[in-house]
Structure 1
């Protein structure tokens, strides 16, 4: 395969960012735990923007039920491991990208997983709460910002957690004494405090028993685009224009609404 220089691969970014900034992205590392509905396209978007190092995590395999929203899922990849499909995809974009992969994040590997990471893009499944809390706790200890942009109905929500601002547990008012379902309910309510979808739907269609939520591929891509832009600005030290928690932002195309919400 012909080797194509980095300055050619990402040259169309010049003008929006400088050549020196593009060069700096080669040494940046992002963590994208989750390779499904948003994680797969988050990772691809960041690598296409010149990020040279990425940590991914997912033990799951693609199933036909993933076809509606997970861009790594095709007829050819059903049954294949999501992280392996993503790794192959990223290498096909930039053969020099450095990829570190684990199946799960837990107490045993979280510190190593986050070593050298500049920004975390939280793309874990909604129903994963204990590893998510661990991720935010250790990222905060390591002075790493975490972004979570979630697809919700025909829209997206955005939260930025900075190491010197409100913590994940503080924002969602979660503690160890609560049941997993109670923690997830608080997590869901904190993600969508304005519930903009209620202008056309009575609920976000969360199925706690089967751990499923209704979703659209377009909303997943919107979350990816939104979050990847914020991640890029954090990597380059730009002002994002969006405040960290306790502020959050919600945009819903079907209802035609955008809101900044301050949690009190």
Structure 2
């Protein structure tokens, strides 16, 4: 099992009840060493205030969610937003900036062009990311999100993009999005030196909504410990984020209860 010192709270897990300051205090109260904030919470609190609060609470930042979305609006707008995201990640000492690349542009059926646009955007901001010491963590999402959320769908495809882009780019692997892939273990092995983040939750057997019906670790069908062992064997020894979007269950619960359960399940299932 993974050591509890690797546990990170991705703030999406309690986003309906706690703002970023409450998440920081909650992590400190529950003895959780890492936090993975989202940019909307960061903007609401203020980047410098958040950086100071995180530092004063003795926390480390596993990653900032999220950059990308190259296909929303114009590419120039997306590039400018990602430049801001890189600066924000650097300011709070984030280990990486998680990139969700975006789906097809409105009205488009040209998947190849959408993917080329994502690579163009990544290449445009990569020099700034390298200079700031903020690695870009490409997160492949489940293929069912290809139209509206991510044209980057598999670990193999993400690693191909990493090889195209070069230094300063890696992958963030979320078990929710990669567990189904028959090549996932082979690709995790291939990812040695490229794994920047590892996210856990569970896939419920009767998932009602792909985006907001994730389960707590142990409540679904994913071999989480097996995937964690694979990323460890590939050389990853960094933080493990619990990221649960759960509109019918965990978002409605007391966040202190959620964090208590999260710690127990992490020790048992991850």
Same fold per superposition (TM over 0.5)? no
Report the TM-score, using the length of structure 1 for normalisation.
0.33
Report the TM-score, using the length of structure 2 for normalisation.
0.32
More strand by share: 1
More helix by share: 2
